[in-house]
A and B are shown apart, each in its own frame.
Chain A
Amino acid sequence: MRKILYIWTVLLLAFSDMSAQQVDKAAVKAKVNRAAMEMKSMECDFVQTKHLKMLSDKMVSKGRMYYQQKNKLRWEYTSPKKYVFVLNDTKVRIKNGNRTDVVDTNQNKMFKEIARIMMNSVVGKCLNDDKEYKVDISASGSDWIATLSPLRKNMRQLFKRIVIHFDKQRAVVSRVELLEKNDDRTVIELKNVKTNHAISPNLFAVD
């Protein structure tokens, strides 16, 4: 009898543990939102790998990213090409080689989309965008994985889906995958993430 009770206890514990592993979409969203709200600033290194379907090849770019609440983002490529993209509210400054351009995202659809995708993915805001994406959330190892299927036509024309990995412990983004219509895939991995450190405002200057 004792043996049977023991087996039942073990089985019950195992099942309760399994149910704990199941993803409660609302709870994950709430945790990510809380972490995003508490994250006043973030800086990290990133490695971006573009997988080129037609060429069966890949291209790796590296750089550094800085984010500051609200709507301030600096996306700086250092290798193999130098390129700086600074978003400050509705303005974008791009330094491309010797050329510097300032663009108002309200007047440039393309940059508005890019700025929105980068900002919302990095911070995890896009999980709340029910009008923009159908969101599925699953768990794997130490990550929550959000799979975003675009709903709007102009986004569907660009991406089949966007997959965002969140570190379960910190509820912050660790990896973003952009799957395009031509089956190219871009994977951005965020490394050495530091949050709530002071960042020089000069890094977000656009004028």
Chain B
Amino acid sequence: MRSARICLLWISLLLPGFASLAADAQSLLPQTAGGKVRFSAMVELPKAYLSGVCVMVNDDGVLKGSFFNEFGISYMDFSYSVEKDKVKLHSVQSMMDKWYIRKALRHDLRMLIHQMEKGVGEYENKRRKMTYRFTPLTDDEPENLEENDTEE
């Protein structure tokens, strides 16, 4: 009986620790200072979409991100303060640089980051009908395109 109690105590003490570790392992965001994660990123709008690459860096508790298209042309630079739970937009491409777009982006990026902390790289803003999909990129992707693409 006593050993069962000790066992339960150990489980109750260790479980939160394991749960926290599991949450960290799931997070898609760079966890350590100086850490970097690159995403294949897509923002779907009702009549169009933005696609490209988003690079996120953990800069001592501030998450800094740059989102640009495949040709390297920037969409936006942003940062997210973990402490304040707030997104700041540092630059936004002129075509999108309107106050209401900035407001929507600040909100949606914050929600997306919350999702990414849980290991989900997707956020849907149902009111504005916008979907954000961020998938981590790896360095070792195969070099060749699918055959059906090059031999259309």
- Which of B67-75, B100-108, B116-124 forms contacts with chain A? B67-75
Which residues of chain B have C-beta atoms less than 8 A from A57's C-beta? 36, 55, 57
Distance in angstroms between the alpha carbons of A202 and B73 in the assembled complex:
28
Taking CB as reference atom, which chain B residue is nearest A74? B150
The answer on a CB contact under 8 Å between A84 and B149 is yes
The answer on a CB contact under 8 Å between B143 and A78 is yes
Which residues of chain B have C-beta atoms less than 8 A from A70's C-beta? none
Q: Chain A: interface residue count, which band? A: 35 or more
Q: Chain B: interface residue count, which band? A: 35 or more
Known: A55-B64, A79-B141, A80-B138. A85 touches B70 (CB 8 A): yes
| Least CB distance, B43 to chain A, in whole angstroms | 12
The answer on a CB contact under 8 Å between A81 and B40 is yes
Tell whether B26 is near chain A: CB-to-CB under 8 Å: no
Q: Tell me which of B64, B69, B152 has the highest count of chain A C-beta atoms within 10 A of its own C-beta.
A: B152
The answer on a CB contact under 8 Å between B72 and A186 is yes
Residues of A within 8 A of B (CB): 48, 50, 52, 54-55, 57, 59, 61-62, 75-85, 95-97, 109-110, 114, 118, 154, 157-158, 178, 180-182, 184, 186, 188, 202-203, 205
Residues of B within 8 A of A (CB): 36, 38, 40, 42, 51, 53, 55, 57, 64-66, 68-74, 77, 90-91, 93-95, 137-139, 141, 143-145, 149-152
